[in-house]
Amino acid sequence: MSAGNAWRAALFWGPRRRRAQSALAQLRGILEGELEGICGAGTWKSERVITSRQGPHIRVNGVSGGILNFCANNYLGLSSHPEVIQAGLQALEEFGAGLSSVRFICGTQSIHKNLEAKIAHFHQREDAIFYPSCFDAKAGLFEALLTLEDAVLSDELNCLHHRHHASIIDAIRLCKAHKYCYRHPDMADLEAKLQGAQKHRLRLVATDGAFSMDGDIARLQEICRFASRYGALVFVDECHATGFLGPTGRGTDEPLGVMDQVTIINSTLGKALGRASGGYTTGPGPLVSLLRQRARPYLFSNSLPPAVVGYASKALDLLMESNTIVQSMAAKIQRFRSKMEAAGFTILGASHPICPVILGDARLASRIVDDMLERGIFVIGFSYPVVPKGKAWIRVQISAVHSEEDIDRCEEAFVEVGRLHRALP
């Protein structure tokens, strides 16, 4: 470059570089302010780094010795099941690491079609479609199905208090339907809202099957009865139910006897089914066909990697062959809940592996969590705004692969720490 050109370039680029640098400095200032705000509000989330496989016994960075883990959605222990891992390896070998494509362009293999058929069969529905995650499955469904002419009626935990899952909240935000919100778990209010929504073309009642913070179960029989009386459809999010609720683990609709009345189910491969990713919608055939045409996260995001499809397929096979894992989990839940209640603790919900141990005071809950970790037991505390004000609790999640000794150790530690902090008489 000649001296003249260099001089002209400096004139041209100098102010631009300075403006770019000042924009970056401004951005840093904004971000630092935001981050300090989160710290100041006491809502900073730090991540524990696990250095082993997921399972009942884990190793955690910075903590010496093994940890007994009661903080995982690995309800059936399938994350580390040898047959499941083997099936993933086999699919990886046979079908490769991934497809580098979305489903409709060049990203569908025979195993993808087989898994969708298996999911529909498992839930006894007409068809199924899966996505990279259940978060995507919800964003895809509501926006593609519901228009300005329609209405969605959802549980207040999702629409008012925003205590529940962001994926339902965001999916409902994203669609153009009229939004109604009914009180939890107030069925008279649901009926009133259904009456008010009669003018719309479609009415979709949307609820979780099992609520993941509280461990309580939706009143699906009544929801289905009212939906049928007012000609509404029922959508149930089964992320914390698929694979383990009901005698054969089909989900909330199985023990409540409403499998033929819940119209649409969304669920995840990422909890009881043991994966880290994958979610789906199952329901009427034409709905699934429409989603393949219209659901944006399906159309514009890569297909699931073959290994993930292989694991999920094997997990469903195991569940359809036998209900021993499901029964074993149920027995462990019963053991933990009854021992804790006998010791004087209050536990929310019933018969769900999510066992919220009520403590009330947020600081007390967090001290107990720390003391439990010192005794080698990993549980997590929740306080407002995730749970109602003054109702802090510790969430314990039971898994089929906890041994009876693991359950007893957890209960004994709770009693010891609870007495120490005068949370128990």
Ligand X SMILES: *Cc1c(COP(=O)(O)O)cnc(C)c1O
- Residues with catalytic roles: 212, 240, 271
Cis peptide bond upstream of 185, omega within 30 = yes
Between 273 and 359, name the residue whose CB sits nearer to ligand X.
273
CB 313, min distance to ligand X, A = 16
DSSP conformation letters of 316-334: HHHHHH--HHHHHHHHHHH
Between 63 and 380, name the residue whose CB sits nearer to ligand X.
380
Between 251 and 418, name the residue whose CB sits nearer to ligand X.
251
Burial tier of 108 (Cβ tally within 10 Å: 0-12, 13-18, 19+): middle
Which amino acid is it at 73? Answer: N
CB 297, min distance to ligand X, A = 10
Number of Cβ atoms within 10 Å of the Cβ of 10 = 11
Between 211 and 336, name the residue whose CB sits nearer to ligand X.
211
Binding site for ligand X (CB under 6 A): 133-135, 165, 167, 208, 212, 237, 239-240, 268, 270-271, 279
CB 314, min distance to ligand X, A = 18
Between 239 and 265, name the residue whose CB sits nearer to ligand X.
239
Which helix or strand (DSSP H or E) is residue 152 part of? strand 151-155
Residue 407 is given by DSSP the state H
For the chain, how big is the Rg over CA atoms in Å? 24
CB 157, min distance to ligand X, A = 10
CB 251, min distance to ligand X, A = 12
Token digits for 143? Answer: 């926006």
Which of these, 302, 368, 317, lies nearest to 103 by C-alpha position?
302
Q: Which residues pair with 360 in a beta bridge?
A: 392
Q: Strands (DSSP E) along 214-317, which ranges?
A: 233-237, 264-268, 279-283
